[in-house]
Amino acid sequence: MSDPTEEPYYQRHIFFCLNQRDNGEYCCAQHAAQQAYEHCKTRVKEEGLAGKGQVRVNKAGCLNRCAGAPVAVVYPQGTWYTYVDLADIDEIVRSHLKEGRVVERLLLPPEIGR
């Protein structure tokens, strides 16, 4: 068992929903989520933020917030974002993942679900 006083393996962990719904329902894959995930991963590496004690960028299946698609969530804070383009991803990387400041304008409203 790990010591609870130890630093977490990653300081921040961002998950991108990449879910594709075959029945035509609204989903993140319809909104270039794969491209956003890949862009974020590249930007995190370019900023020197990748690796132990820093930031991890991960793919996720459905996060059940489809009505706000596309979505990503940053842990351990549990901060939910929606985004429009790669400039929004750049802002999340710079502000939240690098500097620890939430990007208020991109927050997903808490009532948005599936």
Rounded percentage of the chain residues whose pLDDT exceeds 90:
84
Rounded to whole angstroms, how far apart are CA atoms 52 and 32?
28
Cα 108 to Cα 23, 43, 72, distances in angstroms = 24, 22, 9
Residue 29: CATH number of its domain: 3.40.30.10
Show the domain range for 72: 15-106
pLDDT, mean of residues 20-26: 84
Residue 4 domain flag: no
Q: Is the pLDDT of residue 105 over 90?
A: yes
53 is written with which tokens? Answer: 């004690």
97 is written with which tokens? Answer: 């993942």
Residue of 19, 14, 10 whose CA lies nearest to 52: 10
Number of domains the chain is built from: 1
Report the pLDDT value the prediction gives residue 6, as an integer from 0 to 100: 76
Question: pLDDT by residue (tens digit) across 53-103?
Answer: 999 999 999 999 999 999 999 999 999 999 999 999 999 999 999 999 999
Residue 8 domain flag: no
Instruction: Pinpoint the alpha helices (H) of the chain.
Output: 33-46, 86-91
